[in-house]
């Protein structure tokens, strides 16, 4: 499957669906981004059930800012609408494949429980601070 250009207009629609979406935040002037592109493309061909998106940080500066992208390339993994991984740096092909395996193996019910627990802990801290 070819990669999908992600923009502010389609990002939420693409990443909120069930399943896995990998996002490559990149720029044309970025050497590591350019070198990583063929690896990312090959991986997209090996995994037709996964959406591989690319965000051009020059054209989509607000989108890059929304996710606090400070270094490119940054790879983000979204599963069932939840960001489960985000890390700057080009990954070797073996590391990208390992990341995909780990995201596929996630127990999303457990992930949702962890998020709910963190939110509750945050609410409890806010309530305690208000005293």
> Mind telling me the catalytic residues?
30, 33
With H, G, I as helix, E, B as strand and everything else as coil, classify residue 12: helix
- 89 sits in the region (left: phi over 0; alpha: psi -120 to 50; else beta) called left
Strands 51-56 and 20-26: parallel
Distance CA 83, CA 128 (A): 28
13 closest CA partner among 47, 61, 58, 63: 63
Provide the b/e sequence for 14-27 (b: ≥16 CB within 10 Å).
bbeeeebbbbbbbe
């Amino acid at each position: 499957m070819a990669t999908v250009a992600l923009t502010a207009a389609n990002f939420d629609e693409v990443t909120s669906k069930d399943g896995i979406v990998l996002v490559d935040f990149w720029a044309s002037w970025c050497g590591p981004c350019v070198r990583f592109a063929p690896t990312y493309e090959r991986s997209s061909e090996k995994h037709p059930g996964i959406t591989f998106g690319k965000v051009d940080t020059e054209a989509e500066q607000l989108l890059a800012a929304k996710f606090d992208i400070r270094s490119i390339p940054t790879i983000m993994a979204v599963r069932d609408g939840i960001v489960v991984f985000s890390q700057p740096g080009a990954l070797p092909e073996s590391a990208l494949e390992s990341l995909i395996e780990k995201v596929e193996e996630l127990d999303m019910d457990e992930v949702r429980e962890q998020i709910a627990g963190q939110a509750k802990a945050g609410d409890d801290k806010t309530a305690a601070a208000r005293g």
